[in-house]
Each structure stands twice: as structure tokens, then as C-alpha cells.
Structure 1
Amino acid sequence: MATNPRIHVAADFIVGGDVVLPEGPARHVARVLRLGEGAPVRLFDGVGHEALAVIVEASRKRVVARIEAVEAGRGESPLAVHLGQAISKGDRMDYAIQKAVELGVAAITPLYTEHGDVRLKGEREAKKLAHWQAVAASACEQCGRATVPPVHPPQPLDAWLSDRVESLRLVLHPGTAGALEQNGAPASVALLIGPEGGLSVSEIAAATAAGFVPLSLGPRILRTETAPVVALSLLQYRFGDLG
């Protein structure tokens, strides 16, 4: 594991240039890690670039790092999975997003479903979306990814289904155990996971009509935040970079 802290900074990396760290990471570097001038750090821009940098200014209000080298980021899976995750309350949604990012997901769309008990509107939805994107960025800092997968604005399930073009589309539902037995890795995957109460009969029918194949994860019923961890692990092992 890398010993230098990894920090997400949405900035252009130019060798010899200075980058002012955002308030949150700056506070963590200066007050928690207590790093001072001359300390090495790793920065990543969220779109695939990583930088080796050194702190040149560290105060309680401002931390500046100087870029010493720029390189391509690592840690991206060759398998592009778009996760459609029914919105759950509180920490459960954060956990699902965090673990999905650690397991190489390419994009996440929070979904409104019939049995889902979370409805967000206006400013509350915007704040929650910003929070979820921050969770994704923090997960990238921890797991070594330099590309932060987008968390798209929440949308109704039927709208998400109508936009799907992935070559393999899976919905977690008691069904065939052979959904992952196809020959050759798919170009892309859409993975649909319902809420605690499960997807309704009509939602399963709509997913099937949109080309989704039921995928069973065994005899035990998994929580909505556990299901993406298991499903993504299986997908990455079968078609991605965990094998």
C-alpha cells in the first residue's frame, strides 16, 4: 500500500506548477496528518491523471502542493459496469456507492423504485447527489483509482431502463444461475439492484422487456447494500480484473 496520502483535486496538473488543496483535504493534511513543507503527497484529478507532489506551504488555512511528476492513473477495470442502485436510507446508500467504486464500477445511477422509501426533491436531492459524489471520490482516494466514476442524478427506474445500451444487462432477482456463463467478456454491463423490499412484478417485467437477464446470488436474501458488492465481485472475477 502507498504510504503517501492520495488526495482528489479537480485541477490541471503541470510539472512545476502549484495546486491549492481544497478546504477539506487541506484541513486533513495540516491538522490530522500534520504534514508540513517538504512532505510528499499523491494527487489525482478524477479523470485519469495522477501526480507526485510535495507540500510547499502548509498552514491552518491553506495548503499548497507543487507538482513534480505526472503519470497516467491506474486501477481502472477493463470491464465497464453501470450500476443502477435503488436509493436506500442513510449509510446503506453510502456503503453501496463506496464498495461499488472500490470494485471498479464505471458509473452509478441512484434509482427511484416502487418499493423504495426514499424520495428526494430540489435542493435536498442536489445536496444528496453532491454527498454521494464525494463518497465516490473518497473511495478512489483509498483504493488507488485516479478516475472518479460519476454518480448521476437520481431518476425513475423506467427512465434508466429506456437508456440502456450495455451488451450484458443483469437484474438481481431469483432466476438463472447461468447468467454469467457466456463466452467472452461483454463490452459493457448494466447491473440493476432493487430496494430492501425488492423490485415489483411490473418492474421485473419492464427490466426483462429492456433486455435484462435475472441473476440469482444464491439461496440467501442479501441486503440492498450487500448485493452490489457480491454481484460486482462476481462480474470482475468472471470478466474483469479480479480473476
Structure 2
Amino acid sequence: MQRFFVENSLDDQYIITDISWIHQISRVLRARIGDEILLFQENGNERKYTIQSIEKKKIILNAESEITPHNTKQKHTITLYQSIPNKWEKCEYIIQKAVEIGVEKIVFFPSKRSQYKIIPEKKKLRWQEIAREALEQCGGYQPIILEYKDSFESIEIDPNSKNILFHTKDASSSIEIFYKKAQKKYGIWVGPEGGWEESEIDNMNKKGFITVRFGERILRTETVGIVVAFSILYSFAD
């Protein structure tokens, strides 16, 4: 059953007037009168609806069930600090997979070896749509937060977060150390394809970051953050 994220209240009758929604339901999904869909909110509330009518400028839904609440709180939260990769498609992949596994926030920023320094506004709008679609498809409820910074220096470091800096050499610890004792908040810092410059690593270490490695494995920039986030969230899951 198709799920849709909404911000409005889940009333007994729900009217859709957004043109993109109408197109998706009537043209892409080819839904018909009588078909069922699920509407859900950020707070975890969900309700089943039946399509009553499909018109050019609106779709009318009638509730078929009571509102069902779901627990959306996670014991551990992860923010992925991702240096901008050399291809925009990699950002789309990172966003999609981060939503699927339950990452709370992604902060994109250019590091010294990033090919791109500025993210176009049209890309940001596209990525927000990708995040919404991923949330609807994966069964989650909490929309991911997407933030964009123009440099490392402009990022406000959370003092309550355990910040993990990934580096392919000269790392002080192996990633296994973080699976021994759970933290409430994690910050995962991933460099671009060319890696971090030594001055960046020194700066982060001075701020209390812990440099870690993945043994002998070298993971791609679009892979490492997702793998680590998944490992942390599900190693300490109830």
C-alpha cells in the first residue's frame, strides 16, 4: 500500500490539492476510486484512507481506520557530516540510504579536496524530494534533516556527540571500539574521494575527534558513512 508523508492533521476527510501529488497518484501510480493509501506524520501517527474521487485539481480521501500511533524515538541518533563528493548522484545515493537506515541528519560541506564547493539550489530541492520518497517507501516516520554548510569552520560541533573521523591511514583506533560502549549521539565525518588533508585532520583532532579506520578496507565516500551508521544503530538496537 502506497504511503504518503503529510504535515496536515489526519482528518476524517483529506483533500489533496498539490499538483505533484495528484500527478503521482493519478498518473504514475494509476490509482483508481476505491484504492487505499496510507497517510503518516512525523509524530508517528498513521491512518488508512480510501480514494473517494479523483479530479483534475484535487483528490478526496475518506478515512477507513482510526489513527494508529507508532513510536518514532531512537535510543541513538546519528548525524552524517559528508564532504561533497565529485558526482551529484553520490549525494542522492547517500540521502536515500541514510533515510532507509534511520540517520537523523546529513550535513553536506566542502572540504579542501572537494571538487564542488557550492551546491545549486535546484539540487537541494531535488534531494529533499528524494528524502521524502525514500521515507515513504522504507516505512519510516521521521523525515531526515538536510543541512548545507560552506566550510568545516561554519559547522557547529555538538559537544555531546561522539565524533568519528574516518581516515585511511594513521588512525588512532579501529572502528570496533565504538561497538563496545553505546553513546547517545554520534557524528560520522566522511571525506571526499581524495581523502582529508593533514591540516584538516589535525584541526579535527584538536577538537576532540577520534580518528578511526576500517582495518585494511578502503570504502568509497558514498559507502562508508552508511555502513558505519547502520552498524552503530543496529548493534545497539533493542
* Normalised TM-score (structure 1): 0.86
The AA in structure 2 aligned to 1:168 is: K
Match of 2:226 in 1: 229
Match of 2:113 in 1: 115
Aligned-residue CA RMSD (Å):
2.1
Pairs within 5 Å for 1:158-237: 158-160=153-155, 162-174=156-168, 175=171, 176-177=173-174, 178-183=176-181, 185-237=182-234
Count how many residue pairs are aligned between Structure 1 and Structure 2. Answer: 232
Q: Kindly indicate whether residue 36 of structure 2 is the aligned counterpart of residue 65 of structure 1.
A: no
- 2: distance between equivalents of 1:115 and 1:64? 51
Q: Which runs of 5+ in 1 are unaligned?
A: none
- 2: distance between equivalents of 1:33 and 1:202? 51
- 2: distance between equivalents of 1:76 and 1:101? 15
- 1: distance between equivalents of 2:130 and 2:217? 28
Match of 1:106 in 2: 104
Name the SS for the 2:9 alignment partner: coil
- 2: distance between equivalents of 1:101 and 1:76? 15
Q: Kindly indicate whether residue 39 of structure 2 is the aligned counterpart of residue 43 of structure 1.
A: yes
Is contact 1:85-1:111 (8 Å) kept?
yes
CA spacing shift, 1:236–1:102, aligned 2, 3 Å? same
Q: Kindly indicate whether residue 135 of structure 2 is the aligned counterpart of residue 140 of structure 1.
A: yes
Q: Which moved more, 1:191-200 or 1:43-52?
A: 43-52
CA-to-aligned-CA distance 1:22-55 (integer Å, 9 cap, x gap) = 3333212211222122211011234533222221
Q: Which runs of 5+ in 2 are unaligned?
A: none
